[in-house]
Structure 1
Amino acid sequence: MTSRVSFVSPAMNSSARQARFDDGGSIDAGGRARARAAAGSLPAAVRVVVSPSVRCRETAAALGLDATQAQELAGLDVGRWRGLTLAEVGADEPEGVARWLTDPSSAPHGGESVADLCARVGRWLDAALETDGRTLAVVEPEVVRAVAAQVLGAPPAAFWRLDVPPLTVTSVSGRNGRWNLRLGHPPDSPDPEPAGS
């Protein structure tokens, strides 16, 4: 049995353009148009899930996907920093930001740590290994980062070294207890069959 999961990052919105922690804003007109143009280009899936954020749900809808919300694939909870830019937070809480960016177990914002996010996503991946066929998941960029770190067995500190552009697909395929990773391809690029997975 081979399980495949294609993780689609959300289309652009004003928060992403401003390097702002997600504030629940909608995707912008350009992002919506790009997602609509990609509708129908994703591979068929036995299940479709979505992070509960507005931008992920709207991206899934623009892609023409009928998705079920997956709370375990929610984005990183940044607590009181929600809606602020990193520059704003850095000006008010420089020590907290420095600690957050260097210690994956730290959550100075009162939300969730990067290590906790990676562990949560890792549990979801473990369960996904039991699903035969393909899953499409429209998820926040930080979930894609956590997936990549988990699949590669990288420490949570590697999370900050991964960039996830809007409306790209990162795919994993797995069997026999392990995953292979394919990073950041456009939605209309087919997944090759993995070698030796």
Structure 2
Amino acid sequence: MWNAALVHRRLAEIERQDPEHRRFGASRHHYRLGRKLSERKVAKLEKQIGIQLPDTFRVFLTEVGNGGAGPSYGMYTIEEALRLDAKEHVYPDFYTAPFPHTEDWTPPLEEQPEDYEESRWITGSLVLAEFGCGAFHRLVVNGPVAGEVWFDDQGSDGGVVRERNFYEWYMAWLDKPDKGFFPSQASGGGAPAPG
């Protein structure tokens, strides 16, 4: 599934093309990934949150790296992601409740429910990366679309929309870091590229 040597080689190539880290997000992640996690550490985190992580993400953590270089401002480490979610989304069984969407959810402003910005609309997902302007990329960890990355733009009334599966999401950025990967490329609309 993942070729860790290829990923690290490609990151080194990208950094050589951008030594001053001027691409969007590069000044934060410097084209570096965090240290890989042991199987034991991942199993402990899974026990803590009550679910098994999707295989593509789990293998990324144990064979490629934990957080760092990636789309938008780069990926959070899983520990950072869990802390952010715990701070922002106080919802019982946040990860064990299934993700509530299988199709893009973009209700018009006048049709948004009163609880539009509440955590129940993104349960069963883990924050992956900050896009900017209050929007985030989230990995679905529970439910029928587990393993997919969805764009959470509730803060700007953009709803929650499907991007790609985690492998495709990461590799699309690695292939074209100048373009990045934004939800508008997957769903035909959505947010413009930041920066």
TM-score (norm 1): 0.33
Comparing both chains, which one has the higher relative contact order based on Cα–Cα distances under 8 Å and sequence gaps of 6 or more?
A: 1
